[in-house]
Amino acid sequence: MRNLSLIYSMRKSLLLATLTVALMTGCRNGTPQTQLQKSPGQEGDSRFAVRGFHVDLRIQVMTMDALKALADELAAFGLNTLVMEWEGSYPYLNNATISNELAYTREEVKEFIGYCERLGIDVIPLQQCFGHVEYILRHDRYSELKEDRKEISQLCPLKKEADSLLFADLFADMASMHSSEYIHIGGDETYLLGHCPACSLKAATEGKSKLFVDYMKMMCNIIIDLGKRPVMWADILLKYPEAASELPEETIFIDWNYGWKTNYFGDIAALQAKGMEFWGSPAIRSHPDNSYVTCWEKHFNNQRDFIPYAREAGYTGIIMTSWSTSGLYGFTWDVNYEVTDMEQIRNTYPLSGFRILLASYAEALRTNEPIDPKAFVVRYAADRFGFTASEGETLWEILTIPPELIVNGKPATSSSIAEMRVPVEEAMVKMNNLKPLSNKDEFEHFRLMLDIRDHYLRFREAESRFNSADFSEDEKDDLASDLEGLIRESKQLDRRFSRLQKGFLHESEIAQQNMIRNRKLMLLHRRLKGNRTL
């Protein structure tokens, strides 16, 4: 349906005019140097045309009631777009092999999209078509498409006929269910680009940019022929930009930046100067967040710094991402690397605990001034929990305790795990003195996250005894006894977690998250006790 090209050309001309101002002002290290000129009547209007939020359903699959409640909240916050990374939770029609045990029905998906549209929210499907396709390639039906027989995250881009047949069907399925003018086709983190012999040869003779662009151009054209606009992550194109101009002009590129300097992946302004349209993307959950730590201050600062930059740089949309996992997986293999099972590497606390970051995102979109994270948290604590200003500052202190990681059994910066525990224990005392007057379950997420981190650190401290050079057989029973105390506490944490997630996640997902969070503790205890159980 190429008759859309005139509309896109007009949009492109308007975008270029806007970008000329942005590029002339210049930015240094991500800090805007001057304000863009605003059209008459636009004074104080800081809203992007696309103001969106991304839902990651690769793991932690939300119930349909929870998705609708989220849509209600997004609409109340003034957001107008929802990017749905359905992955295996989508009810594929002709490729039902891909759908997993938690897949929604087609009736549920259609009804949810209609629900969002009645709220004024456009639902954009995200269908990965190059990298991050383990959930497709794990199945025998699609295994011939993979770039590597063992590392199954990526398709071979030179198997064009088979790839185009598969994704023409998947994209058509998405287009039939979603009325949005956009389909997000992924394209990020294709780390195996040029890996197989055929791809290596093409990369050597024509360049990695050409290898990447030729494939993504094919995918984009499938989308355009469906009457839609393709959206893709920009990291790989920015790294290999030489053939970028060959991509269709309808394509939109998303610069995802989770706290690093501007142009981390490559020269964005150079592509904008060619007329390419960009959206921006910060995050409220990303590396190194996991089940035991959330880098709250990092995410607040990401909003403070990146959203004003995206506005100044002329980005026409913004999509807040929220990653439940890293997108990397561990596998159980059989002979010839046949996949028996796969499990995600790294889990984060579920999205239910992050309303405060969603609220600050909405605030950042409403104002032309960068948000002040501490001031925002103090106001939020007053509005949502009935706290005094002093109590709000205490909440800020709790959220900003050092999110230090343990690497190879040792603290990344502290001298010992015991030292790491000091600010956590101090924060727990402060937390116990805070008594919310309203929205108590929302506040209970903060309390549970902190208690989970303390439990984790105490386990890692016990584990360090097991790994010490002087650990002996005589100490096994004492250490096992200590672990049994932690196991009893873990069961209490599991119950609290289950109560707070009930109705938000599916029951099986709740059980899996509890199991994964406690797995290392349980395995060490089993090793110490043999076949004996509690």
C-alpha dihedral (289, 517, 84, 132), degrees to nearest 10: 80
Structure tokens at 8: 């896109």
**pLDDT tens sequence across 232-276:** 999 999 999 999 999 999 999 999 999 999 999 999 999 999 999
Residue 2 pLDDT: 41
**Axis crossing angle, helix 389-399 with helix 373-385, rounded to the nearest 10:** 120
| Cα-based distances in Å from 180 to 257, 351, 473 | 25, 24, 63
Which is more confidently placed, 323 or 42? Answer: 323
Res. 36: pLDDT tops 60: no
Res. 41: pLDDT tops 70: no
Between CA 210 and CA 401 the distance in angstroms is: 46
Structure tokens at 82: 């929802």
- Look up the pTM and report it: 0.90
**pLDDT tens sequence across 152-190:** 999 999 999 999 999 999 999 999 999 999 999 999 999
Between CA 247 and CA 251 the distance in angstroms is: 7
CB-CB contact of 48 with 312 (8 Å): no
Residues 6+ apart with CB under 8 A from 413: 402, 404
Three-state DSSP class for residue 254: strand
Query: Confidence class of residue 148 from pLDDT cuts 50, 70 and 90?
Result: very high
β-pair partners for 438: none
**Axis crossing angle, helix 389-399 with helix 417-432, rounded to the nearest 10:** 160
Structure tokens at 217: 């151009």
| Cα-based distances in Å from 365 to 192, 305, 310 | 36, 12, 11
CA-atom Rg of the chain in angstroms: 24
Structure tokens at 11: 């949009």
Between CA 270 and CA 361 the distance in angstroms is: 28
Res. 72: pLDDT tops 50: yes
**Per-residue 3-state assignment (H helix, E strand, C coil) for 180-212:** CCEEECCCCCCCCCCCCHHHHHHHHHHCHHHHH
Between CA 64 and CA 109 the distance in angstroms is: 9
- Side chain identity at residue 280, one-letter code: G
Single out the residue of 437, 441, 443 nearest to residue 502, CA to CA: 441
Residue 15 pLDDT: 42
Between CA 136 and CA 128 the distance in angstroms is: 10
Sheet strands (E) in 191-333: 229-233, 252-256, 277-281, 283-285, 317-322, 325-333
**CATH of the domain spanning 53-366, picked from 3.20.20.80, 3.30.420.10, 1.10.10.10, 3.40.50.740:** 3.20.20.80
Single out the residue of 86, 116, 124 nearest to residue 281, CA to CA: 124
β-pair partners for 281: 256
